[in-house]
Amino acid sequence: MTAEPTRGRRFDPERRDRIIDACLDVIAEHGVAGTSHRRVAAAADVPLGSMTYHFDGMDDLLREAFTRLSDQMATRFEARLAAAASREEAKDAVAQIIAHDVFGEQRDLILTHELYTLAARVPAFRDVTNAWMRRSRAALERHFDPLTSRILDAAIEGLTIHAALDVEPPDPAAVRSAVERICRQDPDQ
């Protein structure tokens, strides 16, 4: 009698990362409310048991996914501002962030708003949004004083939301003018 070979575990070192990426895809398609372990497992092409093996529940998975999103967005933001060699270039960079970078894709808009809504409803997720804001402000403070950086950060959020939801495309000259007006209040100018 021949013994049946036992099935070994499949070596899949990227599984956890694939699950996190799939979670963002599911959120973009179904929202946080429509995201489930089953949907994420199917999207990541992993057994359902992988969800509880890698994460301590849905909140843990959502935190990891939104942390990844905010890290990616903050990295783009930091890179744009790091490339600015002067204050004028920094103002131009802020205008470019508003007009092109923050919500460059519809998916980014949806995911960011899902994070904002979750953080507004569940205060435990505010550490993700606050870490993102700290990184944004630190990047801005390379060129502007702390108060101006805080105001610019808030303006970037508001203007990008308006640009993303308005039926008219944003006017780059108006965006640049708004940045200029905010920066006029900067005592370092």
CA-closest candidate to residue 138, choices 127, 124, 128, 150: 150
Question: Could you tell me which of 117, 112, 153 has the C-alpha nearest to residue 134?
Answer: 153
Count up the domains in the chain and report the number.
2
% of the chain beyond a pLDDT of 90:
70
Domain that holds residue 160: 71-183
**Are residues 124 and 169 located together in one domain of the fold?**
yes
End-to-end CA distance of the chain: 87
Shared-domain flag, residues 101 and 166: yes
Query: What stretches of the chain show up as alpha helix (H) in DSSP?
Result: 15-30, 37-44, 49-54, 58-82, 87-96, 106-121, 126-140, 146-165, 172-183
For residue 4, tell me if it sits in a domain. no
Cβ-contact 140, 155 below 8 angstroms: no
**pLDDT above 50: residue 8:** no
Could you read off the pLDDT of 38-47 as tens digits, one per residue? 999 999 999 9
Are residues 112 and 31 located together in one domain of the fold? no
Q: What is the pTM of this model?
A: 0.85
**186 falls in which pLDDT band (50, 70, 90)?**
low
Residues 94-145: tens digit of each pLDDT: 999 988 776 668 898 899 999 999 999 999 999 999 999 999 999 999 999 9
Q: What mean pLDDT value characterizes the chain?
A: 90
Residues 77, 110: one domain?
Answer: yes
